[in-house]
Structure 1
Amino acid sequence: MILSERLQSFRQPEIPFAFFDFDGTLTHSDTLMPFLHHVTGVSYYPKLMKLSPILLAYVAKFIQNDVAKEHVLTEFIGQSDTHQIFQAACEFVMKKLPNLLLPTGMEKLHEHQNLGHYCILVSASPELYLSKWAQQHQFDGILATQLAVESGQFTGKLLGKNCFGAAKVERIETEYGADCWQNSFAYSDSLSDLPMLQCASKGFLLRKNQFVLI
């Protein structure tokens, strides 16, 4: 999704792209579970206990990331009204996310924005709440995991691929073209993002609160 008018109307090839992972890179930690906690309130922990076999299987690498995510989303927001969840997403962005932001990552984002680079948020977390946050923080674009909707309700299933690992590279090249990697930058805290970091001209991995060129 393109957010800024300058990228929508006329992309200038001499302007570099800077791609940012979200969870753990621009935040202190994961944001999906805090979001689901915000949505479900007191029923959060009973639902979490019900999901414990799935979560343990994921940690043990018996099931893949996207499969575990669909189980979690189905339990927490499956059959939920989209309007209600979108409202909760707006509240989460305004009230909860500011406390989760990581100064090191946000400073790097502002550095690239001040240089006039095209800044793109690329995350496995749901576009459901990240799109509003990305607009608030003046990103030029966002690529995040999309959720399926039927009859005005979230199904708990993913719409397309989980925006994770190599899928991030696919999404980036589909949206901006393979030439977007020229003179580009990419930032993440996770080795799962090595495909993206290695495609960029300069890929940085967050280690001990510092971004290290890989």
Structure 2
Amino acid sequence: MKKLYCFDFDGTLTHKDTMFLYLKFYNSSKFNQQFIKHIPLFILLKLNLLDAEKIKKSFISAILKGESKLKIEAKSQEFFDKFYPDIFRENALEFIKNIDYSKTDCYIVTASLDIWVKPFAEKFGMKLLATRAEFKNDVFTGNFVGKNCNGLEKVNRIKEATADGRYDKTIAFGDTSGDQQILDWANEGQFKFFH
């Protein structure tokens, strides 16, 4: 029996959202300045008056744009070394430890950027489908490649990645409205399973 597991990352496997955590770790003084500047946008977002993807891009770009791929990758590895396994839910780590990878394909499917989730996916031996950071000449442009990996995009990306796979069962794990489509799409949708 061949299974497909699709795990959301932030809040599902971890206790907290990693975007703010990573950006603050990357450059705390720049983070603090930009956080204050972005407060009016965060308020408008809470009131559903602005698009989340635009604000996310603006905030990430304000801190990381112009940084080299080499530096970002090094910082992402440092971030992993500092926060693994502390930011993870114990139930999630226990579950992952017991996966039989010979019969199961596993993906982390996340709206977070690939740059900081990659070391965690590698640690778990999972494939990664994430919002993709755009680099030109090995420098981060501040843009994303393609769409923010959230909502319906999660389903599209997993379908694309597993097009040639035959699975007896697909199981998705999520914890927010951004995971609803992938939970509905899977044979089995597990909401807040590790909470």
Q: TM over 0.5: same fold?
A: yes
Q: Which residue of 1 aligns with 2:88?
A: 101
How many residues align? The count is 195
**1:50-199 pair list within 5 angstroms:** 50-113=37-100, 116-139=103-126, 141-177=127-163, 182-199=168-185
Give 4+ residue runs of structure 1 displaced > 4 Å after superposition.
Answer: 178-182
Q: CA offset at residue 179 of structure 1?
A: 6.1
Residues 1:201 and 2:187 are matched in the alignment: yes
The 10-residue stretch of structure 1 (18-27 or 199-208) with the greater mean CA deviation from structure 2: 199-208
Instruction: Classify 1:180/1:75 alpha carbon distance in 2 versus 1 (closer, same or farther; 3 Å).
Output: farther
Distance change >3 Å, CA 178–CA 199, structure 1 → 2? farther
- Unaligned 5+ segments in structure 2 are none
Encode CA deviations 1:137-176: one digit per residue, 9 max, x unaligned: 121x110110111232211111111000110000001111
Once residues 174 and 160 of structure 1 are traced to their aligned partners in structure 2, the CA distance between those partners, rounded to angstroms, is 14
- For structure 1, the residue ranges without an aligned partner over 5 or more in a row are 1-13, 210-214
Q: Which has the higher contact order (CA 8 A, sep 6+)?
A: 2
Distance in 1 separating the partners of 2:164 and 2:157: 10
Give the Å deviation of 1:115. 7.6
Residue identity matched to 2:106: C
Matches within 5 A, 1:39-58: 39-58=26-45
Does the CA contact (< 8 Å) of 2:134 and 2:145 recur in 1? Answer: yes
CA distance in 2, matches of 1:54, 1:151: 31
Contact 2:134 2:140 in 1 (8 A): yes
**For residue 37 of structure 2, what is the amino acid of its counterpart?**
K
Going from structure 1 to structure 2, the CA distance change for 1:60 and 1:181 (only over 3 Å counts) comes to farther
C-alpha distance in structure 2 between counterparts of 1:130 and 1:26, whole Å: 12
Q: 1:109: Cα distance to partner?
A: 2.5
Secondary structure of 1:101's aligned partner: coil
Q: CA deviation at 1:114?
A: 6.5
Q: CA offsets, 1:50-91, max 9 Å, x none? A: 111222222211122211111111111011122111111110
